[in-house]
Structure 1
Amino acid sequence: MSAVLFIVFVVGLAIGVPIALAMGGAGLLALAIDGNLSLLSVPQRFFDGINSFPLMAVPFFILAADLMTASGITTALLRFAGAMVGHVRGGMGHVNVVTSVMFAGISGSALADAAGPGAIETRMMAKSGYDKAYSAALSAATSVIGPIIPPSIVMVIYALTDSRVTVAGLFLAGVVPGLLMGLALMAMNHYLSVKRGYGTVGTAPGWGVRLRALWRATPVLLMPAIIIAGILTGLFTPTEASAVAVFYALFIGLFVTRTLNARLICRVLLQSGLVTSAALIIVSMASLFAWLLTLLQIPQAIGAAIGGMTTDPVAIMLIVMVFVLLCGLFIDTLPAVIILVPVLAPLSEQFGIHPLHFAMAIVLNLTIGLATPPVGGVLFVMSSVARLRLEELTRAILPLLAALLVVLLAVVLIPSLSTFVPGLFGYAR
């Protein structure tokens, strides 16, 4: 059964079959050929994969992000970021990074960041004299911060897959790594801007301008604060927090920016429904695939193989990260989490690695895969938005990926980067 499962899955990916169908088809065919298990287990596993109260946070966070984007909040974020860092060398690039860091606290999705602020930032950078390919590459790289700074759809899925971590703990664990990603990309942008002559050093705006920009952006910036504060105080669960985020986004769009109307809300609901359907289909298909992996004792085999190489926790982490990075080149983030976590998470317990540290490294690793060829989702989005060939975008993003990999290495080698903030609130004992 295992041979059929992997061969069909790999061949499906190779010929361009959508990841969900490749996983579901491989599982169905493996069960049919084996004949020892009833095929009724297929729809049961599909349903069990999405029959979860915490999973309801996914459609709500997607809807909240789409509503905030439709409300025109990107303009307020761009103005605030421009007032803070737009005057320094490579200013528009820094504005790109800072805006993405702030938008990450709203969207929880790299694709939403790339398609929303990323598209606007790319055009603004190109008009300011930046190379078009570099502008799109920086937007793609900064969008990867979206699933790291809370809220995060990927972290919700991870917490459902590994019961040793909670959504709230993972949200808090992403704060420091997410900020480090922003700083690393700003440092690389400064270096490349100086080297290539992008941007000029301007006059810093007065604090009056900055405070007015902050005031206009405050309703947007409050959203992640409300979500995290509500979860930590026990006012609502992470799932309920996602519903609160939707109502807050509606309030902003209807009464603050006053850009939402009935027609636009209907359009947003349709768009969010399509995105949610695609995500949940992937989750349901991946649950069947992961169940078969467990049934075939693949996790135990891989754990034994890695454990046979070394018993040093740092070496184990490095080996796992290389393996996950290679998987992330070919498998999208959500199915990768559902497939790989049951396989790899037991290693953290076996070798005394803190589950939040291990989880954060896995999530960060897989989200970087969103910006790597050949199946990096944000690369395809930015390639379409900027009307660039994928090859051009790939060459331009390489130094930015190097900066992100440095952050990944730091997170792997320094556990406190992931566990310090959760520890302050009792989530990393």
Structure 2
Amino acid sequence: MMGKTLVILFVATLVLGVPVAFTMGIAGLAAILADGTLNPLIAMQRMFGGIDSFPLMAVPFFVLAAELMTACGLTAALLRFADALVGHLKGGLGHVNVLVSMLFAGISGSALADAAGPGAIVLRMMRRAGYDENYAGALSAATATIGPIVPPSILMVIYAISDNRVTVAGLFLAGLVPGLLLGLALALTNHVVSVRNGYRGRESRAAGPEIAAAFYGALPALLMPGIILGGILGGVFTATEAGAVAVAYALLLGLARRALGLSRLLAVFARAATITSSVLLIVAMASVFGWLLTYLRIPQELAAWLAGLTDDRLTVLFLLAGFALVCGLVIDTLPALIILTPVLGPIAHQFGIDPLHFAMMLVLNLTIGLVTPPVGPVLFVIATVGRLRLERLSRAILPLLAAELFVLLLIILFPELSTTVPRIFGYAN
């Protein structure tokens, strides 16, 4: 009865369009009440327990740091630097879109922040330059998915809290190669589309002094990922403390550039608080839902079912990837990650799949869900800021989506892409 209530209510409220955080909370509380033997206060305990975590404190810090860096005007500096490097190539603004997303990902760690920030700016630039507006929007949406892969990543922090077999630092390192592959795949796709449609780059290659000046302007933003990763790997501070350091750095930088007046600073803190509260609400509700899944022994039952189908590790990984991909189509990325990690993670471990390899597969898989209908929150952001029709945007993103799925296939087939860098630094088995 308990399991049926949980599943039926979760699916029903999701279909009705109830926000996913509340679908998990409603279904979880109803399942506990339907059981009759559990104290309903368990739901409150699990909610508070889910967010009472020292590593989770990194999330508000990284969110605030990204908002401060954006308010400092460093997005424009990154755009100038990217344009100086790749703007002369065929389809130059498309390549700028990819590169600036990779650079900004080292600051924000969020696909939505990337889409609403530099993604929206480059979309307008591409539209003025004569690119098809739907392709420009699709590329901005696709490149935004690099944000959760390249460190620092909010999703990586949440995953590390949900699975004690990995660390935040290990996951940050594991995302370096997949993030680079994702950028290269999207750049290659943009080149093919640009050749087919005659999209040109800037008239001339940037000269050395222009590149140097653009690099100097973007240097404060480029230093942020180095400070975070360098401090963590050097043992100077933890991932959570790295977030606090990032905030201090961004705040000092904004004050030094005279870009943060009192009114702007208050607006930055308000936006960061809004984003953080929504994330923590999802984490709290998903903690109840995830605990119930474990209580009902759903991971063990799934593992036994898979063991009855096959004992081949790669086949199991493909089955788990397919299941995660379907979930990513209908459930937002963050709650899907919190729900699936305690369910699928033990199954992967039972079949001998490296935890970092599985983590990257799952995070990349669910990140792709950010740009796939019917949920696709990044598509909705781009459609809103670009005033584009969602159905046309969904069609335009298909070749870019194929490129991302190809990268996912590489990550599944070659575990070394995810595990080599962490292993070099001692963060992998």
| TM-score, normalization by structure 1 | 0.98
- Residue in 2 that maps onto 1:14: 15
Q: 2:365 corresponds to which letter in structure 1?
A: N
When structure 1 is superposed on structure 2, of 313-322 and 89-98 the one drifting more is: 313-322
Q: 1:320 corresponds to which letter in structure 2?
A: L
Identity percentage over the alignment?
61
Q: CA deviation at 1:252?
A: 1.7
The 1-side partners of 2:18 and 2:98 are apart by: 34
Matches within 5 A, 1:49-198: 49-198=50-199
- Residue in 2 that maps onto 1:370: 370
- Residue in 2 that maps onto 1:215: 216
The 2-side partners of 1:317 and 1:180 are apart by: 20
| TM-score, normalization by structure 2 | 0.98
Q: CA deviation at 1:307?
A: 2.1
Matches within 5 A, 1:217-236: 217-236=218-237
Asked whether the equivalents of residues 130 and 199 of structure 1 are also in contact (C-alpha less than 8 Å), the reply is: no
Matches within 5 A, 1:255-404: 255=256, 257-404=257-404
Deviations 1:239-284 (A, max 9, x none): 00000010111122111x3211111010010111011000000000
Asked whether the equivalents of residues 155 and 171 of structure 1 are also in contact (C-alpha less than 8 Å), the reply is: yes
The 1-side partners of 2:193 and 2:100 are apart by: 19
The 2-side partners of 1:274 and 1:219 are apart by: 26
Gaps of 5+ in 1: none
Q: 1:131 corresponds to which letter in structure 2?
A: D
Q: CA deviation at 1:344?
A: 0.7
Asked whether the equivalents of residues 97 and 142 of structure 1 are also in contact (C-alpha less than 8 Å), the reply is: yes
The 2-side partners of 1:273 and 1:210 are apart by: 37
Q: 1:211 corresponds to which letter in structure 2?
A: A
SS of equivalent residue, structure 1 residue 329: helix
The CA RMSD measured in Å over matched residues stands at: 0.9
The 2-side partners of 1:205 and 1:163 are apart by: 47
The 2-side partners of 1:75 and 1:200 are apart by: 19
Asked whether the equivalents of residues 54 and 160 of structure 1 are also in contact (C-alpha less than 8 Å), the reply is: yes
Aligned residues: 428
Q: 2:279 corresponds to which letter in structure 1?
A: A
Q: CA deviation at 1:358?
A: 0.8
Q: CA deviation at 1:200?
A: 4.3
Q: CA deviation at 1:117?
A: 0.6
Asked whether the equivalents of residues 6 and 27 of structure 2 are also in contact (C-alpha less than 8 Å), the reply is: yes
Asked whether the equivalents of residues 331 and 375 of structure 1 are also in contact (C-alpha less than 8 Å), the reply is: yes
Q: CA deviation at 1:201?
A: 6.5
Q: Give runs of ≥4 in structure 1 deviating > 3 Å.
A: none
SS of equivalent residue, structure 1 residue 264: helix
SS of equivalent residue, structure 1 residue 280: helix
- Residue in 2 that maps onto 1:3: 4
Q: CA deviation at 1:304?
A: 1.4
The 2-side partners of 1:19 and 1:139 are apart by: 25
The 1-side partners of 2:404 and 2:211 are apart by: 29
